[in-house]
Structure 1
Amino acid sequence: MDWPARAASLRQWTSNGVRAPHKPLLFLYALGRYQQDAEQELAFSAVEEDLKRLLAEYGPGNRTTPAYPFHHLVSDGVWEVRTRRGAGSPGSGVRELRESGAAGRLAPELRAALRRDPSLLGRLARTLLDLHFPPSLHQELCEAAGLELEYAETLPVVPGRRSRNQALRELVLTAYEYRCAFCGYDGRIGTIPVGLEAAHVFWWALGGPDEVENALCLCSLHHKLFDKGVLGVSDEGRVMVTQRFVGHSAAAREQVLVLAGRPLLGPQPGMPAIAAAHRAWHTAQVFHGPSRPAVAA
């Protein structure tokens, strides 16, 4: 069984780029718990809050339920569910899972494969991370799921996986004149820019193109906040800050809150701005709106 290929082909509801990371998040969480205790079953009532937090932080902005992946991941052959009545999930409702004493864990065949080849766990996790989330979130997602990975591991070859455009970073930094489009940070050591990154607007992991019109030059902090949905870009090309962000320190005000309503810095004339379709995708699928009102000058 090619388990990484199976992890890469989880059946998910998709439509026009709508994010549906429910199954990958549960799979990552289950791998983390397996790493801690290979024989433990995960009672739905005991892990429900953990899964809620993962979905709230790394899923789309709309409300969702952890019962959905807990039930439906069974169909992908990597997960099993049992109740007090025996094998099989009672359904995708929270009440049914709670009242039946439902508990899940990795499928027996997968557990056996992990015992034979412990490195398989890292390859599975890396496949899920690479296909569903931007690199800026990988390490903290591992921590949230309780996973410890060796990031030097080579990713498995999955049929159909695209190759990244290695020249994109330089193209994007040039387009934005080597400064963060949100705050203007332009740090260098000698002639080498430091702390500046090319941030995809429509995530590459979900099919977004490696093109300047799908990217921003952002400092490391604002790249992370952009991928977490704290920051966004309005139709008018201004920075949006979600009302859900709370920060009382001077640093939070100066680095995040004051950005609300600020126009983007760049791109320079003659270079393509963010395509409207990519901006709309980020607003709908990543940004945790509504946005704060613009800060008075």
Structure 2
Amino acid sequence: MDWLARAATLRQWTSKGVRAPHKPLLLLYALARHQQDADRELAYTAVEDDLKRLLAEYGPRGRTSPAYPFHHLVSDGVWEVRTKGGHGSPGTNVGDLRASGAAGRLAADLRSSLRSDPALLGRMARTVLDLHFPPSLHRELCDAVGLEIEDAETRPLIPGQRRRSPALRELVLTAYEYQCAFCGYDGRIGAMPVGLEAAHVRWWALGGPDEVANAVCLCSLHHKLFDKGVLGVSDEHRVMVAQRFVGHSAAARDHVLALTGRPLLGPQPGASPIAPDHRSWHTDQVFQGPARPAAAA
């Protein structure tokens, strides 16, 4: 059984670039629980709050039920559900899952493969992370679900898998003249820039192209906040700060809240600005709007 291929081809509802990370999040969670106790079943009532938190933190805006992936992941052959009445899920109704004593865990064949090849767990996790989330969130996601994996041993091994462009970072940093487009940070050690990154606007994991028109130069802090949806870019190429963000310290005010409404720094003349369709995708799928009014800064 090619479990890496199964991890790479989870069936998901898709429409016009809408993010649907429900199954990937549950699979990461299940891999972590298997790593901790390979024989333990996960009662829906025991994990419902954990899954709800993960979906709220790493899913798109809007109300989402953890019952959806708990039921539907079975169709991908990596997950199984049983109730007090036997094998099989009662559906996506939360009340039915609770009342039936539904419990899930990784499919029996997958558990057997993980016992015979322990490194498979890390490779599956890395495949899911690379295909559904930006690199800035990978370590945080592993910590959130309780996964322990080593980067060096978990590079995905899917033949023909799309590769990131190694040239993009230099192209983007040059376009933005080696400064964060949000705050202007331009630190260097000698001739080498430090703490500056090429941030994809439409996530590479979800089909975003490796091109300057789909990227922006950001410092490490603002890249992370951009990928978390705290920060965004308006149609007028100004920084948006989500109203949901709360920070009372001077650092939070200076490094985040003070950015509200600030025009982007760059790109330089002749370089491609962020394309409208990529900017709209980020606003719809990642930004935790609504945005703060500029006067609130």
Q: TM-score interval w.r.t. the shorter chain? A: over 0.9
Q: Equivalents in 1 of 2:163, 2:156: separation in Å?
A: 13
Matched, 1:22 2:30: no
Asked whether the 8 Å contact 1:258–1:295 carries over to 2, the reply is: no
Q: Equivalents in 2 of 1:153, 1:229: separation in Å?
A: 30
Asked whether the 8 Å contact 2:19–2:60 carries over to 1, the reply is: yes
* Equivalent position of 1:48 in the other structure: 48
1:4 is matched by which residue type in structure 2? L
Asked whether the 8 Å contact 1:259–1:295 carries over to 2, the reply is: no
Q: Deviation per CA, 1:187-213, whole angstroms, max 9, x where unpaired?
A: 000110000000000000110000000
2:56 is matched by which residue type in structure 1? A
Q: Equivalents in 1 of 2:207, 2:189: separation in Å?
A: 34
Q: Which runs of 5+ in 2 are unaligned?
A: none
1:292 is matched by which residue type in structure 2? R
Q: 1:61 Cα deviation (Å)?
A: 1.1
Matched, 1:69 2:69: yes
> What does 1:160-179 correspond to in 2, within 5 Å?
160-179=160-179
Q: Deviation per CA, 1:258-282, whole angstroms, max 9, x where unpaired?
A: 1111110000111110000000000
Q: Equivalents in 1 of 2:205, 2:40: separation in Å?
A: 31
User: What secondary structure, in the 3-state scheme, does the structure 2 residue paired with 1:152 have?
Assistant: helix
Q: Deviation per CA, 1:82-105, whole angstroms, max 9, x where unpaired?
A: 111110000011111111110000
User: What secondary structure, in the 3-state scheme, does the structure 1 residue paired with 2:184 have?
Assistant: coil
* Equivalent position of 1:243 in the other structure: 243
* Equivalent position of 1:82 in the other structure: 82
* Equivalent position of 1:252 in the other structure: 252
* Equivalent position of 2:134 in the other structure: 134
Q: Equivalents in 2 of 1:47, 1:163: separation in Å?
A: 34
Q: Equivalents in 1 of 2:142, 2:91: separation in Å?
A: 28
Asked whether the 8 Å contact 2:200–2:215 carries over to 1, the reply is: yes
Q: Equivalents in 2 of 1:53, 1:244: separation in Å?
A: 16
Q: 1:159 Cα deviation (Å)?
A: 3.8
1:287 is matched by which residue type in structure 2? F
Q: Percent identity?
A: 78
Q: 1:294 Cα deviation (Å)?
A: 0.7
* Equivalent position of 1:271 in the other structure: 271
* Equivalent position of 2:123 in the other structure: 123
Instruction: Give the root-mean-square deviation of aligned CA atoms.
Output: 0.9
Asked whether the 8 Å contact 2:122–2:154 carries over to 1, the reply is: no
Q: 1:62 Cα deviation (Å)?
A: 1.6
User: What secondary structure, in the 3-state scheme, does the structure 1 residue paired with 2:137 have?
Assistant: helix
* Equivalent position of 2:289 in the other structure: 289
Q: 1:160 Cα deviation (Å)?
A: 4.1
